[in-house]
Structure 1
Amino acid sequence: METTYIKTPLGIAAIIGDENGISGISVADEGEISNTIPAVLQQAVRQLNEYFEGKRTTFNFKLNPKGTEFQQKVWKGLLDIPFGKTCSYMDLSKKLGDVKAIRAVASANGKNPLWIVVPCHRVIGSDGSLTGYAGGLWRKKWLLEHENPSNQKSLF
């Protein structure tokens, strides 16, 4: 397993993976930036940088997250939420076939090991509120605004 650390507008991202795919992407407020990027992580690093530069809306590198069968199902469901769009935990539960599983869906969402790439930040409360986010609500707000910037110009 290889690890590299890159600077992003939201902190230092740790990218973990091997020839089987990327198994983890997380963010921290501080840390050492890597001087070299292992070959198996280069595509993920390039695509994440393109995302932050506003040049990418989807990712196509190989993913290999570790989780239960249910967590995998939820994470796969998250991949279907389009760039610039959001859905509620209730909507996601319905889509996955069990409206009563809303708490389990929320829990699996919170355990998502692939920050940004599996877009758990696109899941919001039924009332439109920004609910729980492992990386902090300020990061969730930033990501949603990055993906759907307001086009309104100042009137003054």
Structure 2
Amino acid sequence: MPDTLYTYLVSPIGPLLLAGDGAALSAIGFPSGKGRVAPRDSWRRDDDLFVEARAQLTAYFAGELRDFDLVLNPTGTPFQLAVWQALRAIPYGATLSYGAIAARIGRPSASRAVGAANGANPIPIVVPCHRVIGASGALTGFGGGIDTKRWLLAHETGGRPGDLQGSLF
């Protein structure tokens, strides 16, 4: 297996860890929450890599980019990969339910499994798992925490973070 390389990006939601083989991005880690990713001892930090990923994420947070065009290398089961591909098709600023994603991948009764795959997404933001909500419209679990999910959705809809059931800050 090739070396895992990583760097950090300072963002409005905290420092994000970017990791991969240097050419493809395989993980984005939040600074806290269940989606926190810490570099392993075998990983090597290289702040000269992931230039395009850092540039696109910076443009996203500045409100200048809606669609990412990055080389990705997520690791998952065929079902997870299908869910993550479906997530990439959710338009900027839109949301879908777990059930809607299950229907889109041809597994309409698999909304719970979609939820589990969504929660295992190793490349959040770029693979926009934050755009998936409960059938009732409720903001459900998110690796970076519900406040971060709320912030990301408000950012994409042009609202302030406090416009969606509370505030991150």
Q: If the length of structure 1 is used for normalisation, what is the TM-score?
A: 0.88
1:108 pairs with one of 106, 110, 117: 117
SS in 2 for 1:144: helix
SS in 2 for 1:28: coil
Task: Report the Cα distance in structure 2 between the residues aligned to 1:20 and 1:6, rounded to whole angstroms.
Answer: 17
SS in 2 for 1:50: helix
1:96 partnered with 2:99: no
How many residues are matched? 146
Q: If the length of structure 2 is used for normalisation, what is the TM-score?
A: 0.82
Task: Report the Cα distance in structure 1 between the residues aligned to 2:70 and 2:104, rounded to whole angstroms.
Answer: 25
1:144 partnered with 2:147: no
- Residue 92 of structure 2 corresponds to 83
1:3 partnered with 2:6: yes
- Residue 57 of structure 1 corresponds to 66
- Residue 44 of structure 1 corresponds to 53
Return the structure number with greater helix share.
Answer: 1
- Identical-pair percentage: 43
Contact map agreement 1:71 1:108 (CA 8 A) in 2: yes
1:26 partnered with 2:29: yes
Runs of 4+ in structure 1 off by over 4 angstroms are none
- Residue 154 of structure 1 corresponds to none
Unaligned runs of 5+ in 1: 152-156
Return the structure number with greater strand share.
Answer: 1
Task: Report the Cα distance in structure 2 between the residues aligned to 1:122 and 1:135, rounded to whole angstroms.
Answer: 13
Unaligned runs of 5+ in 2: 37-44, 161-169
SS in 1 for 2:152: helix
Contact map agreement 1:20 1:64 (CA 8 A) in 2: no
Partner deviation per Cα, 1:60-98 (whole Å, 9 max, x = no partner): 110001111111010000000000100000111111111
Q: Give, as a single letter, the amino acid of the residue that structure 1 aligns with 2:63.
A: G
User: 5 Å matches for 1:115-154?
Assistant: 115-150=124-159
Calculate the aligned-residue CA RMSD, in Å: 1.8
Q: Give, as a single letter, the amino acid of the residue that structure 2 aligns with 1:136.
A: G
SS in 2 for 1:25: strand
- Residue 14 of structure 1 corresponds to 17
Q: Give, as a single letter, the amino acid of the residue that structure 2 aligns with 1:55.
A: E
TM-superposed deviation, 1:38: 2.6
TM-superposed deviation, 1:150: 3.7
